[in-house]
Amino acid sequence: LISTLHHLQLTPAVSLQIAASLPNNNYFNNAFRNSFFYQEAEEMLFVRRQRLQSVGGFSLMLIHCLSHIKIKDMSPDSSPAFQRLFFKSLQECLGQLFLAKMDTSPSGLSS
């Protein structure tokens, strides 16, 4: 997912690490503030281990985090720049999921 969004030039390339615990942060008004921590200097995204229990929830949280990282503002979720990128990223991911589910690709559609 990180690679796909980066390839589409929607989000930066970051390294993902799974963590048992996270440091406190100041990501106020961020829906997932207790689920991740981003180290900007190392371009490292740490995600709480419990988030792996649901692939859908994990994917949503990841898109959310990457959108905040791209606009260089971890809060608030009401930011218009964040919302534009978040919904554009969701749209692209859902489109990719649809094509994968249909077992087709834009170049492989039959006539």
Q: Is residue 52 part of a domain?
A: yes
Measure the CA dihedral 104/101/32/9, to 10°. Answer: 0
Q: Indicate the pTM of the whole model.
A: 0.84
Q: Determine the structural domain holding residue 22 and report its residue range.
A: 2-101
Q: Is residue 110 part of a domain?
A: no
Q: Is residue 111 part of a domain?
A: no
SS3 6: helix
Contact present, 74 and 68 (Cβ < 8 Å): yes
SS3 22: coil
Nearby residues of 44 by Cβ (< 8 Å), 6 or more positions away: 14, 15, 17, 38
pLDDT tens, per residue, the chain with 111 residues: 888 888 888 888 999 999 999 999 999 999 999 999 999 999 999 999 999 999 999 999 999 999 999 999 999 999 999 999 999 999 999 998 888 888 755 555 554
Query: Would you state the structure tokens that stand for residue 72, as one six-digit string?
Result: 């260089």
Query: Would you state the structure tokens that stand for residue 7, as one six-digit string?
Result: 């390839």
Q: Is residue 90 part of a domain?
A: yes
Specify the CATH number for the domain of residue 72: 3.30.2010
Domain count, the chain: 1
